[in-house]
Chains A and B, each alone.
Chain A
Amino acid sequence: AQTVTQSQPEMSVQEAETVTLSCTYDTSESNYYLFWYKQPPSRQMILVIRQEAYKQQNATENRFSVNFQKAAKSFSLKISDSQLGDTAMYFCAFDVAGGTSYGKLTFGQGTILTVHP
């Protein structure tokens, strides 16, 4: 079984600054995917970024990037130039690769990020 741990229940950042959210995981699988999902207040959860474990290059999506440390089983999310619209709960999630996985995500506890003007 997989576990995902987010050790920061809440974080805050000033608009335009950079913030990093932490995530660690534990698994015996060799091939898997890691995700960051964002759940804004009273709005639907959406995918922020995805990383394939066999890819050494860190994924990047505009202002969002990850620091994937496979040996340390660490997967942090960096948000650059924070905007008020980034205020949300952020979830780290794990998924085993392969057709028999059926996308059974394992989520962390979530980190509430507040961006202050």
Chain B
Amino acid sequence: ETGVTQTPRHLVMGMTNKKSLKCEQHLGHNAMYWYKQSAKKPLELMFVYSLEERVENNSVPSRFSPECPNSSHLFLHLHTLQPEDSALYLCASSQEGRGGGEQFFGPGTRLTVL
């Protein structure tokens, strides 16, 4: 595997389910990000981790819970989601997590909440 990978690519879940999204970067980067991409809306930054510490929680509801066990892996744990949470969730990584660095994106997980 190269670059940034995400699993699963598609996920359908009920409002009472608990599921997790996984992201892995194979680039040796120190910063990782979760974004939400909804139709006809700008990408929304959700969480930022730099050197495995969370440095940004962009007013995201607590039903989304991130986890970064090491610099290569990032998870997004989901529970009791709402239909409006249906979106494409993108993971990204960058070399040093500082301003101006290029971010490398994964293919995304298409989430549908019924």
Contacts and interface: CB of A to CB of B under 8 A. Distances in A.
Contact of B105 (A45, A96, A103): A45
Contacts, number: 70
Nearest to A5: B42
Interface stretch (B11-19, B60-68, B71-79, B93-101): B93-101
**In the complex, which range does the number of interface residues on chain A fall in?**
20 to 34
**In the complex, which range does the number of interface residues on chain B fall in?**
20 to 34
Interface in B24-72: 31, 33, 40-43, 45, 48, 50, 55-56, 58
Q: Is the interface of B mostly helix, strand, loop or mixed?
A: loop
Given A102-B31, A103-B31, A33 B45 contact: no
Contacts of A43: 107
A117 interface: no
